[in-house]
Structure 1
Amino acid sequence: MTTSISAPAAPVTDASALTGKRRIAFASFVDENYLPGFLVLLRSLALSNPDVCEDFLVLHDDLRPASVAAIRALHPRVRFRRVDAGHYDSYVKGDQDNYLVRKAYFILDVFRIRDYDTVITLDTDMVVLGPIGELLAMRHGLGAVPQFFYGDKTRMLNSGLLVIQKEYLTDTFCAKIDAIGRSGTYELDKHDQGILNALLDGDFVDLDPKYNFVKRRLSGDLPVPEDTAVLHFTGRHKPWQGGEAGYGLAQERWAAFELTDAELHAAYLEAGDTLHHDLLVHYGTPHVERTGDVDTARKVALAHIGAGDYQAAVDILERVHLPIDEAWPHEVYGHALMSVSRYDEATAQLLLATAAPNRAATAFARLAQISWVHGDDDRARAHATSGLTVDPTHRASRIWHQRTVGVPAQPAGRPEDQLAHVAFYMDRQGNAGDKLLPESVRLAFGPDTTSRRWHSVHAHRLFDEAALERVNTRKGLVIGGGGLFIPDTMPNGNSAWQWNVPDELLGRIDVPIAVYAVGFNAFDGQSYRAERFRASLRLLVERSSFFGLRNHGSIEKVRAMLPAHLHDKVRFQPCPTTVTRQLVDGWRDPATREDTILLNAAYDRAGLRFGHDYGYFLAQMAKAVKDLGALAEVKCAAHSLDDEKLAFDLRREHGVSLPVIPMYDFDNDEIRDLYARTKLVIGMRGHAGMIPFGCGTPIISLISHPKMAYFLRDIDRPEWGVSVHDRNLADVLVERSRDLLADHDRTVADVHGRQQELWKTTEANAADLRAVLGG
C-alpha cells in the first residue's frame, strides 16, 4: 500500500533540528564579586581566538544593570539565565553559611541546559591565552583536565573547564547530581567539583592540561608555558584583588587583558586575518564611530556583505570619508551599493576603484555586472575585457565576458503563443543542477522547451519598463524553479530575493502569473532583509494566479511571512526534476546500471554548512569512501568547480583518491543520463538528490541545509538523509548505502513509488495551470 506524501506530518521549524548542525555555547556563573574576572575572561577569549564566537551563557543569581551592560559590550552573543538558587539549599555543604560556598554550586545549573549540543564551562578566574578550537570540535563524553596533585595519582577532574555533550544535559543526569548533593556523599570542601567527581568516578575524557593550567603549577614565579591555552587562577587570591606573591609572571598574563573597551576594539581589529563576523561587527562598529577609521569601516562592511546584510555595509561606509586615492574602500562601497540597487552611485565608486591595479579587475567585473543587470551587453563586455586586461586570470571578469558572447540565436515564436519564464539561466561551467532547472520547469508545461514557446527573462536582470512590455505581450508569466527565495546569490534592493523586480513593475504585470516549484533556500543561520522581502513576497502572492513551492518546509516558512488570508494560496508543487521520468518524452529506464556510487559535496557558504565540523566531516568521508568501495566504485560528482574540493581535500588530508566527474561541463541530457545509470547517489546539493531521484535512482542526502530534509520529509523517507554533523557519519552512511544496495530492484521500485506520489500532485496542479495559462 502506497502512503500519500502530499501532506506530511507536523513540520519541524527549527533549522538546526533539520540539519543536525551542532549548537555550541560557552557558560560561566557570574556574580558581582567575580565580574572583573569574567570581563577579563571575555576579552581574552576574543583576542586569543579571534575566529571564535559562540553563544555565551551567563548564569547568574543577580547582576546589576550596569554589569549586564558591561558584559553585553564585550560579547555580541551573550544569553543571560538566572539560576534556581534555592534548588541548591537542600544540598549538604561544608559551610552552609558561607555565601561563596553556596554560590559554588550554581554552575551545576549548566546541566539543566537543553538547547545546545555542546556546552563549554569556564570559571571566571580563568584567562584564555591560546587556541581552543580542539574543545569546539569535541563530540563525545564529558571532557575535563584531571585535577593536579603533587605525587597523588588519584583520578579526579578539575571542574573549572568542562566540555559537556548533550547526553549529560538531561534530567536523568541532573537527578543524579541532586541525589549526591542532598546525601552529602562527596568531598564537601570541593563543592560542585566534589559532586561531579563522586558521580563520574573517573569516567571522563582527559583534556590536555594546557586547557586548564592551574596557577599552583607556577609556584615560585615560574613563567607560563608557551602552549598554555587556558590559565586558571585557583585559590583564594584572585588577580583582580591584587593576586598572590610568587605568581607575578602569571599575574602579568592576566593583567594584559585589563583593557578599556576602546583598547579591546583596537587590539581585536589587529588580532589576525581571520576575524569572526559577529565580533568584527560588534567591536568594529563602535571603533568606526569613535575614530572614523576607513580601513575598519571597510572590514566591517565586508563582514556585513559576507552575511548578506548589504544595507548595513552601505550604512557603515556612509559614516566615514573615503579618500579618493584608496581604491579598496571604494570597491567595497560600490559592491554594497549595487547590492541594494543603488546602481548609479555604485558605478561612481567602482570607477574610482579601477584606478588601483590591485583592485581594478574586481571593480571592472562589478561594473560589468551592473551593465549586464541593466541589459547592456556591449558595455558589460567592455568592462569585463578591461578586467581581463588587468588580470587575464580573473574569474569573475571571465564569467561576465562569457555571458555576453556566443549566445546562440534561437527561432522566436509569436508573442501571443509564448509564456514568459523568469528563471536563473546558468552559465557555461555553472552549477549542473541550476543548468537543468529551466528546461525541467518548461517540460512540466509541455515537450517544447525552446524559444518558439518560451520567452526567457533572466531573474538577475533588472525588470524594467522594456521587460514589462515584453512580458505583457505574452499569454502568461511562469516564475521558477529553483531556490529563488534566497537573499545573497545575486542580491538586489528591489525585491531582496533573486528576481530583481521593483514592486511598482510587478504590480503592473497584467498577464496571469504562475510561481512554479520555487524554494525557500535560506541556510540555517541566514536571514533576509525581512521588511523588503516580506513586502515583495506579499505582492507576488497577491498577484499570482498559481503559487506553488517545491516542499512543505518552504510553504511553512513563506506562510509565516504572509497575512492569514493569503496562506491558502500557497500550495505544494514538487520540483519538476523529481519527476523527470514522467516529463522527458520517450524516457526509458536503463536496462543495466554501472557499478558506481556518485558522491557530491557542496562548498558554497561552507561556514553555514559545516560550522566547526569540516575536519570531522572530511575524516568521516575518508572512512566512508574506503568502506563504500567494497560496495561499488565511488566517484566524485562535481556539480560545480568548487565541488571538486572534496576530492582534493580527501587526497591531501587522508590519501584517499576519487575520480572526478565534471558535471558542470555536461549538457542536460548528459546530466540525466549519468544519474540514471548509477546505482546510488550520495549528495549534499539539493539537486544532487532531486535529479537522480527524478531519474529513478536511489539517493542518500548529506544534509547541511534544511531543504534536503524538507524534500526527504515530503517523500516520507527521512532515513535517506544523514547530517554532515552526525556523530557516527561514516558508519551510518555506509550502513544505509548497504541497505539500499542490498536489494537494489526493491529500492528502485520504492523510488518510483515515491515519485509517483509527486507526479499525482504535479498532474493535479497542471489542470489548474491550464485553466490559468491556457493549453
Structure 2
Amino acid sequence: MTTTSPIPAATRAPATDAHALTGKRRIAFASYVDENYLPGFLVLLKSLALSNPGVCEDFVVLYDDLRPGSIAKIRDLHPRIVLKRVDADHYDAYKKGDQDNYLVRKAYFILDVFRIREYDTIITLDTDMVVLGDLGELLRLREGLAAVPQFFYGRHKLNSGLLVIQREYLTDEFCAKLDRCGRSGDYELDKHDQGILNAVLDGDFLRLDARYNFVKRRLSGDLPVPDDTAILHFTGRHKPWQGGESGYSQAEERWRSYDLDDADFHAAYLACSGGLHHDLLVHYGTPHVARTGDVEAARKVAAAHIASGDYQDAVDILSGVHIPLDEAWPHEVLGHALMSVSRYEEARTQLLLAAAAPNRAATAYARLAQMAWVHGDNTEALKYATAGMSVDPTHRPSRLWAQRAAAVPSQELGAAEDQLAHVAFYMDRQGNAGDKLLPESVRSAFGPDTGSRRWYPVHAHRLFDEAALQRVNRRRGLVIGGGGLFIPDTMPNGNSAWQWNVPDELLKRIDVPVAVFAVGFNAFDGQSYRAGRFRESLRLLVEQSSFFGLRNHGSIEKVRAMLPDHLHGKIRFQPCPTTVTRQLVPDWQDPAERDDTILINAAYDRAGLRFGHDYGYFLAQMAQAVRDLGELAEVRCVAHSLDDEKIAFDLRREHGISLPVIPMYDFENKEILDLYARTKLVIGMRGHAGMIPFGAGTPIISLISHPKMAYFLRDIERPEWGVSVHDRHLAARLVERSKDLLADHAKTVADVHGRQRELWRATEANAADLRVILGG
C-alpha cells in the first residue's frame, strides 16, 4: 500500500526534537573544573543536591586537564554530567595581567560557557561555592543576564561567580564582543573573566540579591552565615579544602558540613524532606541500597522507577532486599511493579501482604481489584474494590474499580461474523472527555452504525487471553484505535509495553484482518519507551496489520525510527477521526449562530513534563491573557477531566480571577460536539481540546506542552495556531492570535473547513482500502 498524505512532503517541516516542538526550556548548570579545584567542585555538587533535592538539570563541566579518575568521581555525584573540553588556546590571544601564571590563564576558561548552544538558560557556579538554599528563583528567570553586584565596587559591576545566562547571550555575536575586549586589553586585567564581562556589559545586567552570591569577605571577623544565604562564595586565595583562613570558621564549617564521604552523602540525600528528583534518587539510592540493604530506601528508589516507567528496575531493586512480612509499603510497591510487568501471581501475593496493614490496605485492595478486572473477573474485582472502600470510603481508585467491575456489559446484538472487533480505551464515567468520545469517533469512520450491532468492544487494558482471541477471530476484522494507546504508563503491562495488554503469541494467532487506525505516538518531551519489549511488540503489530495508520506525521517519523527499514512502507497517514467530525456525523449542521465565548482548557497530567520550572510563569501569563481575552468574549474553562479544573482554582487563588468551569467530563458525546461547535474559539492544551473543536469547524489555538500538538498543526500547515506554554510572551501572543482569528470569524472558520477537507481526502482514500481489507 502507498502512504496517503494531504500535505506534499516538500512542504512539511523535518523531524524536530521534542523540546524544540514544545518550546520547553532546557536548563543547565555549568562550572569550569580543574584538578586543583576538584575538591571544591565535588562539595559543590553535594551541596546542590542536598539543598535542592528536587532539582536535577544537566551539569556542564568545562575542563582541560581532568584525569579519568577525577571524571569518574564527578559522574558518581551527578547523573547528568555533560563534559565539554575548553578551547584553551583560544584565550592565549587575550591580554592578561600576568601571562605566565597558569591560574590566570585558566580564569578565562569559564567564558567558554557562552559558546554553548544546547540550552536556553545556563547557571554558572564557581567551584569555590557551596549551595545552602533554594535556587528556584534562579531556575525561573527567563530574561537577560543576571548576577549579584560586587561587594566592594557598588552595583555597576557584577561578581561573575554566579551568572544566570539566557539564550540571547549564548550567541556568536556576544562571544565576538568578549573576544574583542579580551584581545584589546580594554578591561580590568586583574579581574580576568569578570573584568571582561563588566567591560562588555557596562552595568547592563539583572541584579540579584546578594544571598545568591554571598562572598566570604562579608563575614570577616568570624561572623555567622545569614540564614537566608542561598550560595556562599569562598573568594580569595584560601579555600576550605586547602586549610581555610583565620577569621571565617563559621563559614568554613558550613562548607565542611557538605564534605561527606559517599555513604554519608547518599544517606543524607535519601533523608531529605520534600520531593526528591527521580534521577538523583535513583543515582544515589541504588548504591546505597546495594551497600546497606535498606528496605525503605529500596522502596523509594522503586517508586521513582515506577513513576518514570522503569517497572523492571523497580522489581529488581525491591527483589534484591529482604522485606519483612510486616513492612506493608514495600510489599505494596513491589506488587505494583510486578503487576506492571505482568507477573500477576507474584504481584497478588505482595499486595495481599500489604493489605494486612490498615494504612496501606485501601491502595493494595484497589490494585488487587485492578488485576482482577484486567483478567476479566468482575466479581473478584468488585470484592476487592469494596474492601478498599470499607477501609477508606473516600479512596478514589477503589471507587473507580468498583464502578468498572459493576458496569453492565454491552449486549452483542449483531451476529459475530457481521461485527468488527474494536480494541480501544473505553473511558469511565467522569473520565477524560476526549478519550470518551474517541472510540465512537473511530467507529464512525467505518460507517454510521457505531453501536453493538456492528461493533464488538475489546478494552485495551484487559488481558487479551485465549477466550478473547477466540471472540476476536469469530469477527470479520479487528480495528485498533481510540485512546492514547502508544504511551508506556497509563496502564502498564509487560506483555506489550504499550496500552493493549496483548502477549506476542496471541497477537500472532489473530487470523482476521487487523487495521491500526489513527493511533498516535503519545510520549511526552522527556518521556520514552525504554524497554525493548515495546519495539518487539510494535514490530509484530506492524507485520500482522493489513492497515497501519498513524494520526500525524510526527508519530510516523517516531514509529518508523523503531522499525526495520522493510516495514517503513506499511506506515501511512490516517488523521484522527475527531478532526473530520463534520464529514463523519450523519446530517451534520454547522451552527447558525455561535455563543460569544472563548473556551480555555489546561491539562495537568504529568505536570512536571508539561511545565518544567515554568508553571508559575504560565499561570501569571494566563491570568493576563484571560483579562485581555475577556474584552473579546466571555472566557470559560472547559475541563476534559476533573484535574483540568486546577487552572480555575489556581487563577482564583493566585491572581483573583474567577473563571466559570464547564465540566465536560460529565458530558455525553453529542454534548461535547455541540458545545465545541457553538463557541467562537478554543484555546486548549489537550490534544483533543484542539482536534475535537477543529473537527466541529471551530477555530483553535493550541497551548503546546506536548509534541503531538505541534505535530497536528504542522500537518494542517498552521503552526501559527500554536503557542508554547513556555513562550516568553505567552499572554501577548495568545491575545494577538485570538484577535486575528476573531477579526474575520467567517474567514477563519472557512480556513478551518479548508484544512479539514485535506484531512478528509486522506481519510476517504484510506477508507477505500479499508473496505477491501475488512469488507462491508
Does the CA-based 8 Å contact 1:598-1:682 persist in structure 2?
yes
Q: Which residue of 1 aligns with 2:737?
A: 736
| Distance in 2 (alpha carbons) for counterparts of 1:528 and 1:418 | 33
| Distance in 2 (alpha carbons) for counterparts of 1:190 and 1:52 | 32
Does the CA-based 8 Å contact 1:420-1:476 persist in structure 2?
yes
Q: Which residue of 2 aligns with 1:130?
A: 133
What amino acid is the match of 1:546?
A: F
The answer to whether 1:390 aligns with 2:391 is yes
| Distance in 1 (alpha carbons) for counterparts of 2:63 and 2:95 | 21
| Distance in 2 (alpha carbons) for counterparts of 1:44 and 1:37 | 10
| Distance in 2 (alpha carbons) for counterparts of 1:202 and 1:295 | 51
Q: Secondary structure at the residue paired with 1:598?
A: strand
Does the CA-based 8 Å contact 2:7-2:715 persist in structure 1?
no
Q: Which residue of 1 aligns with 2:703?
A: 702
What amino acid is the match of 2:140?
A: A
Q: Which residue of 2 aligns with 1:528?
A: 529
The answer to whether 1:745 aligns with 2:749 is no
> Percent of counterpart pairs with the same letter?
80
By how many angstroms is 1:6 displaced?
7.3
Q: Which residue of 2 aligns with 1:198?
A: 199
By how many angstroms is 1:7 displaced?
7.0
Does the CA-based 8 Å contact 1:598-1:636 persist in structure 2?
yes
| Distance in 2 (alpha carbons) for counterparts of 1:408 and 1:70 | 59
Aligned pairs (5 A) from 1:345-494? 345-407=346-408, 409-494=410-495
The answer to whether 1:104 aligns with 2:107 is yes
The answer to whether 1:714 aligns with 2:718 is no
The answer to whether 1:83 aligns with 2:99 is no
Does the CA-based 8 Å contact 1:361-1:390 persist in structure 2?
yes
Q: Which residue of 1 aligns with 2:763?
A: 762
| Distance in 2 (alpha carbons) for counterparts of 1:3 and 1:344 | 49
Q: Which residue of 1 aligns with 2:604?
A: 603
Q: Which residue of 1 aligns with 2:147?
A: 144
| Distance in 1 (alpha carbons) for counterparts of 2:318 and 2:685 | 37
CA deviation string 1:543-577 (max 9, x = no partner): 10000000000000000000001001000000000
| Distance in 2 (alpha carbons) for counterparts of 1:207 and 1:5 | 50
**Relative to structure 1, is the Cα distance of residues 752 and 6 closer, same or farther in structure 2, using a 3 angstrom cutoff?**
farther
By how many angstroms is 1:271 displaced?
1.2
By how many angstroms is 1:425 displaced?
0.3
Q: Which residue of 1 aligns with 2:12?
A: 9
Q: Which residue of 1 aligns with 2:23?
A: 20
The answer to whether 1:53 aligns with 2:56 is yes
Does the CA-based 8 Å contact 2:412-2:456 persist in structure 1?
no
By how many angstroms is 1:482 displaced?
3.4
Does the CA-based 8 Å contact 2:6-2:762 persist in structure 1?
no
Aligned pairs (5 A) from 1:539-554? 539-554=540-555
The answer to whether 1:678 aligns with 2:670 is no
What amino acid is the match of 1:112?
A: R
By how many angstroms is 1:274 displaced?
1.0
The answer to whether 1:593 aligns with 2:587 is no
Greater displacement, 401-410 / 525-534: 401-410
Does the CA-based 8 Å contact 2:15-2:557 persist in structure 1?
no
Does the CA-based 8 Å contact 2:580-2:759 persist in structure 1?
yes
Aligned pairs (5 A) from 1:274-353? 274-353=275-354
Q: Which residue of 1 aligns with 2:32?
A: 29
**Relative to structure 1, is the Cα distance of residues 407 and 573 closer, same or farther in structure 2, using a 3 angstrom cutoff?**
same
**Relative to structure 1, is the Cα distance of residues 597 and 458 closer, same or farther in structure 2, using a 3 angstrom cutoff?**
same
Does the CA-based 8 Å contact 1:5-1:758 persist in structure 2?
no
Q: Which residue of 2 aligns with 1:628?
A: 629
CA deviation string 1:629-678 (max 9, x = no partner): 00100100000000001101110111111000000000000000000000
What amino acid is the match of 1:114?
A: R
| Distance in 1 (alpha carbons) for counterparts of 2:471 and 2:56 | 49
By how many angstroms is 1:404 displaced?
1.7
Does the CA-based 8 Å contact 1:698-1:747 persist in structure 2?
yes
What amino acid is the match of 1:456?
A: P
| Distance in 1 (alpha carbons) for counterparts of 2:281 and 2:258 | 18
| Distance in 1 (alpha carbons) for counterparts of 2:578 and 2:671 | 14
Q: Secondary structure at the residue paired with 1:516?
A: strand
Q: Which residue of 2 aligns with 1:724?
A: 725
Q: Which residue of 1 aligns with 2:123?
A: 120
Number of aligned positions between the proteins: 772
Q: Secondary structure at the residue paired with 1:510?
A: coil
CA deviation string 1:394-442 (max 9, x = no partner): 0000000001224264352001000000000000000000000000000
Does the CA-based 8 Å contact 1:5-1:714 persist in structure 2?
no
By how many angstroms is 1:62 displaced?
1.5
Q: Which residue of 1 aligns with 2:496?
A: 495
| Distance in 2 (alpha carbons) for counterparts of 1:434 and 1:540 | 22
| Distance in 1 (alpha carbons) for counterparts of 2:147 and 2:29 | 14
The answer to whether 1:651 aligns with 2:635 is no
| Distance in 2 (alpha carbons) for counterparts of 1:71 and 1:627 | 49
What amino acid is the match of 1:121?
A: T
CA deviation string 1:56-114 (max 9, x = no partner): 00000011111001101110111110000000000000011100000000000000000
| Distance in 1 (alpha carbons) for counterparts of 2:668 and 2:13 | 39
What amino acid is the match of 1:74?
A: L
| Distance in 2 (alpha carbons) for counterparts of 1:366 and 1:7 | 49
| Distance in 2 (alpha carbons) for counterparts of 1:483 and 1:606 | 17
What amino acid is the match of 2:141?
A: M
CA deviation string 1:98-139 (max 9, x = no partner): 000000000000000000000000000000000010000000
The Cα RMSD (Å) is 1.1
| Distance in 2 (alpha carbons) for counterparts of 1:345 and 1:68 | 41
TM-score, normalised via structure 2 length: 0.99
CA deviation string 1:329-354 (max 9, x = no partner): 10000000000000000000000111
Correspondence for 1:39 among 42, 63, 86: 42
Aligned pairs (5 A) from 1:652-671? 652-671=653-672
Does the CA-based 8 Å contact 2:351-2:364 persist in structure 1?
yes
Q: Secondary structure at the residue paired with 2:520?
A: strand
| Distance in 2 (alpha carbons) for counterparts of 1:109 and 1:446 | 62
Correspondence for 2:97 among 84, 91, 94: 94
Q: Secondary structure at the residue paired with 1:482?
A: coil
CA deviation string 1:142-163 (max 9, x = no partner): 00000111xx536100000000
Does the CA-based 8 Å contact 1:222-1:249 persist in structure 2?
yes
| Distance in 1 (alpha carbons) for counterparts of 2:330 and 2:46 | 28
Q: Which residue of 1 aligns with 2:181?
A: 180
| Distance in 2 (alpha carbons) for counterparts of 1:154 and 1:704 | 39
Does the CA-based 8 Å contact 2:410-2:452 persist in structure 1?
no
Q: Secondary structure at the residue paired with 2:134?
A: coil
What amino acid is the match of 2:83?
A: F
| Distance in 2 (alpha carbons) for counterparts of 1:589 and 1:502 | 45
| Distance in 1 (alpha carbons) for counterparts of 2:614 and 2:481 | 33
Structure 2: 5+ residue stretches without partners? none
| Distance in 1 (alpha carbons) for counterparts of 2:376 and 2:190 | 76
Does the CA-based 8 Å contact 2:6-2:759 persist in structure 1?
no
| Distance in 2 (alpha carbons) for counterparts of 1:693 and 1:645 | 24
Does the CA-based 8 Å contact 1:600-1:643 persist in structure 2?
yes
Q: Secondary structure at the residue paired with 2:738?
A: helix
Q: Which residue of 2 aligns with 1:563?
A: 564
| Distance in 2 (alpha carbons) for counterparts of 1:407 and 1:441 | 22
Does the CA-based 8 Å contact 1:496-1:529 persist in structure 2?
no
| Distance in 2 (alpha carbons) for counterparts of 1:413 and 1:142 | 68
| Distance in 1 (alpha carbons) for counterparts of 2:455 and 2:631 | 47
Q: Secondary structure at the residue paired with 1:79?
A: strand
| Distance in 2 (alpha carbons) for counterparts of 1:294 and 1:408 | 43
Q: Which residue of 2 aligns with 1:216?
A: 217
Q: Which residue of 1 aligns with 2:239?
A: 238
